Structure 1
Amino acid sequence: MRRRTTLVGATALLLSAALAAPALAASGDGHAGTREAVEAAVAAGVPGVTATARDTHGTWSATAGVGDVRTGAPRSIADRYRVGSITKTFVATVLLQLEAEGRLSLDDTVEKWLPGVVHGHDGRRITVRRLLNHTSGIYNYTSDADFGRDYFTPDGFRRHRYDTLTPARLVAIAMRHEPDFAPGTSWKYSNTNYVVAGMVIEKVTGHTYASEITRRVIDPLHLRATSLPGTRTGLPHPSSRAYSKFTDPTGPTYDVTALSPTIASSAGEMISDSADLDRFYGALLGGKLLPARQLKEMKTTVAIKGTPNPGGYGLGLMETPLGCGVRVWGHDGGIHGSVSTAVTTEDGRHSLALNFNGDWAGDARKIVEREFC
């Protein structure tokens, strides 16, 4: 989940934190550049970084910096963290599985499944596909000024961090605004799209989107560190603290570890770790979760506008061309105090997932470039 429409990692500058020696689960010069980039992120101000890569040679992990700025405790390769909008790939996977089962069509309209829910937006022209590739035109609820004041400022967050918000409430916030454009005529990232997508899953299956993700993805892949917390405000152990400066990168640093994940819902509530994310994206691109036709649909992209990412956005999946010509597929995610990236090669055989436990510094793209190039 992100407040604005950017899809790439954190921006700005962060508090200085002592650089801890990287912890390696496997050695080898092939990852020296990745290790250097992880260390550089901490030198640039990220409190701590954890990263895990997986390829045909095995698994390699590194950490740098701290997981707790008060105690100096280091980050762990086993840290569980909030993955934000990486949740969207899981949601899209479930909807594509439902399509493969003949239970819905990507061309079904929102109005068919959720009549009247997107009032003020043309639900007769907003299809499931347009939700998943952000061409619906539905306003992004996290861009609402009141929502921003309540959840993206220090005072507002202090008062509202434990609020429980329903999906219907989040969609209603978006419905206060005019659509960004007519359905299918442009592209703009909107968290509301995936809140609605989660509601569609529940209407089609009779079960919550969280239970369907658990049954269809988490359990079959044995993703032991992955969960959808619902109203649980804390992080499971092992985990690090999460830090934010909100809108002022030169201001105080706040511990934002505990919060109500309902502010993100199916747009970004999930918790995972780097090893699980590697396994998930490797299985997805490796064809283990979707039939070939649905995977092809997922990888059919539209141009990403208004962000530095030169690639394309499919159905809950981003394609990113790297400087060396390699193309990776995955998603990134940001939520208070946590910035994550998870990507894999087109065959699913080489994956990388990483997390910053501060949301205002560092460049995850540089770590990705060093790993794959």
Structure 2
Amino acid sequence: MTIRQLLEHTSGAPNGSLELLLRHIEDPTSLEQQLEALGRDYADQEHIDAINDVPWTAPGQFVYSNAGYVALGMLVEEATGRSVEDLLRERVFGPAGMRHSSYPDEPGLNGPVLREDAWVGETWEGGWWDLDGFDPDVFSHAGAVVSTTADLAAFNEALLTGELVGPEVLQEMLTPTAASGFYGLGVYAVLDPCSTPEDPQLLWGHDGASFGTLSIVLGSADGTRQIAIGATGRDLSALVPRWDVGDLLVPALLATC
């Protein structure tokens, strides 16, 4: 595989997160085993081992892979001799002004934060999972950053205006691949509801989902408009959730026109 394939999710690698957890769950119906798996301390190599134990799709198809981004983080650390945490602090958090973001490797957060809770349906006692013991190593380089909506907006603005990468690299990132039609390198595009059919415009950003929270940040290409949303209480009980973050996202975007 190539680095570009990892960045654009066309390497053929499976997602990896579920495969990683299932290696430590004998009974998928056991709440205790699932919570224990979410609280385990995982090494990066375990993510790679998990996807190498299952079939891959053919290279060139778009398949979102968390494990692929774990591999990218491992490559960055090998190439620089520094940790992803240090590099994020120096090259992303600092320049973007993200004063309330961190890259934890242990469960637990201090201060006024969204709880990591998930709705799992009436079949479970109480209906809710308390995921305070969730270990960010479950996602590692693919999504272990803890942030705020203000910091997410600051990051997206800094990225889109060229403060974090040069213009040639940024253009590469913002060019959707043929395999997906909407995903570039680490970011994706959606149609701006403020634009017209005669002059369609795109918004750029990304979403993120742990097992109890959801977040999304989108911004205009010139960085003048940003919107970020964070929500807890993710619904894991059905394929169709009880609420859709898009119900809030679209009106919020229209309010920025």
Tell me the TM-score normalised to structure 1 length.
0.60
CA displacement, residues 178-230 of structure 1 (integer Å, 9 cap, x when unaligned): 2211x2x2111111110101001001100111211111111222311100002
Moved more, 278-287 or 152-161: 152-161
Q: CA deviation at 1:250?
A: 6.6
Structure 1, unmatched stretches of 5+, are 1-125, 306-310
Alignment partner of 2:118 out of 238, 244, 260: 244
Q: Distance between the aligned counterparts of 1:186 and 1:162, measured in 2? A: 32
Look up the match of 2:170. Answer: 295
Matching of residues 354-373 of structure 1 within 5 Å: 354-360=229-235, 361-373=242-254
Look up the match of 1:88. Answer: none
1:317 aligns to 2:194 (yes or no) = no
> What is the DSSP-based 3-state SS (H/G/I as helix, E as strand, rest coil) of the residue aligned with 2:168?
helix
1:343 aligns to 2:204 (yes or no) = no
Moved more, 155-164 or 191-200: 155-164
The aligned amino acid for 2:160 is L
> What is the DSSP-based 3-state SS (H/G/I as helix, E as strand, rest coil) of the residue aligned with 1:313?
coil
Alignment partner of 1:265 out of 105, 130, 140: 140
Q: CA deviation at 1:364?
A: 1.9
CA displacement, residues 321-370 of structure 1 (integer Å, 9 cap, x when unaligned): 14443421110010021111111111111111111111114222232221
Structure 2 CA distance for partners of 1:335 and 1:127, relative to 1, 3 Å: same
Contact 2:137 2:144 in 1 (8 A): yes
Q: CA deviation at 1:155?
A: 2.3
Q: Percent identity?
A: 29
Q: CA deviation at 1:280?
A: 0.6
Matching of residues 91-170 of structure 1 within 5 Å: 126-144=1-19, 146-147=22-23, 149=25, 154-170=31-47
The aligned amino acid for 1:157 is Q
Contact 2:61 2:179 in 1 (8 A): no
Number of matched residues? 239
Contact 2:114 2:231 in 1 (8 A): no
Q: Distance between the aligned counterparts of 1:152 and 1:205, measured in 2? A: 42
Q: Distance between the aligned counterparts of 1:324 and 1:139, measured in 2? A: 35
Look up the match of 1:104. Answer: none
Tell me how large the CA RMSD over aligned residues is: 2.2
Q: CA deviation at 1:154?
A: 2.4
Q: CA deviation at 1:148?
A: 8.3
Alignment partner of 2:107 out of 217, 229, 233: 233
The aligned amino acid for 2:22 is D
Contact 1:139 1:175 in 2 (8 A): no
Q: Distance between the aligned counterparts of 1:323 and 1:344, measured in 2? A: 12
> What is the DSSP-based 3-state SS (H/G/I as helix, E as strand, rest coil) of the residue aligned with 1:130?
helix
> What is the DSSP-based 3-state SS (H/G/I as helix, E as strand, rest coil) of the residue aligned with 2:219?
strand
Q: Distance between the aligned counterparts of 1:250 and 1:243, measured in 2? A: 16
Contact 2:207 2:216 in 1 (8 A): yes
Contact 1:341 1:353 in 2 (8 A): yes
Q: Distance between the aligned counterparts of 2:213 and 2:4, measured in 1? A: 28
Structure 2, unmatched stretches of 5+, are 196-200, 236-241
Q: CA deviation at 1:138?
A: 1.1
CA displacement, residues 30-81 of structure 1 (integer Å, 9 cap, x when unaligned): xxxxxxxxxxxxxxxxxxxxxxxxxxxxxxxxxxxxxxxxxxxxxxxxxxxx
> What is the DSSP-based 3-state SS (H/G/I as helix, E as strand, rest coil) of the residue aligned with 1:168?
helix
The aligned amino acid for 2:41 is T
Q: CA deviation at 1:173?
A: 0.5
The aligned amino acid for 2:190 is T
The aligned amino acid for 2:233 is G
Q: Distance between the aligned counterparts of 2:123 and 2:61, measured in 1? A: 35
Structure 2 CA distance for partners of 1:263 and 1:152, relative to 1, 3 Å: farther
Tell me the TM-score normalised to structure 2 length.
0.85
